[in-house]
Amino acid sequence: MRAQDIPGALLDLQQQHQFRQRYILETPQSCQVVIEGKSYVAFASNDYLGLANHPALIEATQQALGRWGVGGGASHLVAGHFAVHEEAEHALAAFCGSEAALLFSSGYAANQAVITSLVGRGDAVFADKLNHASLNDACQLSRASFRRFRHNDLTQLEHLLATTPARTRLIAVDAVYSMDGDEAPLKKLQQLADKYDAWLYIDDAHGFGVLGEGCGSAVENGLHGERLIYMATLGKAAGVAGAFVAASQQLVQWLVNKARTYIFTTAQPPALAAAVLASLQLIAGEPWRRQRLQQHVRCLRERLADVNFQLMPSRTPIQPIIIGRNEQAMLLAARLKECGYWVPAIRPPTVPEGTARLRLTLTAAHTQDQLEGLLDSVVAATQP
């Protein structure tokens, strides 16, 4: 795009109700926030367990800053792999029941690392059509044949696997889909991966900390094996930042040697690894957080069962209400904002055309009164 084309393109986005802008958060991440001078109860955060501002994580980070300093200073392979990084990787692997784990600066970087280091020209990667953008970008950058199958359609996936001439094959899926809140059929996917000698790569950004007693979707489904590669982000339920990949020791060694987004970037601040260690203790030691989440989910689904818009089938903290048109979704979000609730509208291209929605996300930090107040406002705002 030329420089002179940008003003017109921005205007087009505004006219299509697809223009995006940032809002300034003036408080720590919480269910009660101040945004641009006004107080809201927020139902838009992925801080599912309410750990992002937890005193234990703050204290662990402060102590680590005093010991390790701020910056990583170098890549992990040069001089940036601190003892606390190593400790966190061992703890994450044990938590997920894997041989080894590897820290990354983001889930985006982890997805690119795994997929581009395992498949290339002449290979094939198979991806669910509702996969996160970072998975799609990684598949395209790999230069492998990129085949997308209909959402959770195992029959189509098996046909694609059975007919590909590629020697190396990789199946990539989200464990929990970020905009719908539903889940991939992981057990059946692993069966297909085993049958057709394919890697199974699971992006569990929204399941880690929430499902499987906090250990994630792979543990909940009893998955294991040398073809399984598990990735989870640490900036959602864990309340910190970054991501990790858990797999066999040999696969992790391969990533250390071949993954460009790991090799050619400065290591994360070591203090964040200390925060991860504190987070794992809370995830394991405070199951009441997940229990409260489950109670919130049940309450929401009971109260909104009869609203005039579609409620997606989800047992997770992600509870979308499909509105349809962009302008209508924006209007409903504005009504909730007037009532003191921060629930931004999600529009294309983040979701398919015609499926603009309110994406309600629940956290263990929400009180029952806050949830009831939101639900009262949603019911009122969606009345014809």
Enumerate the active-site residues. Answer: 178, 206, 236
Q: What does the DSSP 8-state code read for residue 82?
A: -
User: Tokens 């950058």 label which residue?
Assistant: 141
Is the CB of residue 70 less than 8 Å from the CB of residue 222? Answer: no
Sign of the CA dihedral 92, 98, 100, 106? negative
Computed on alpha carbons and rounded to an integer, the radius of gyration of the chain in Å comes to: 21
Q: Per the structure block, which two tokens stand in for 54? A: 């937890």
C-alpha–C-alpha distance, residues 128 and 186, integer Å: 12
Is the CB of residue 22 less than 8 Å from the CB of residue 357? Answer: no
User: Tokens 């109260």 label which residue?
Assistant: 303
CA-closest candidate to residue 152, choices 169, 131, 132, 134: 131
CA-closest candidate to residue 210, choices 242, 185, 179, 175: 175
C-alpha–C-alpha distance, residues 172 and 127, integer Å: 5
C-alpha–C-alpha distance, residues 103 and 244, integer Å: 4
CA-closest candidate to residue 283, choices 206, 213, 224: 213
C-alpha–C-alpha distance, residues 23 and 300, integer Å: 26
Pairing of strands 356-361, 318-324: antiparallel
- The runs of H, that is alpha helices, within 196-325 are 217-220, 249-258, 260-263, 270-285, 288-303
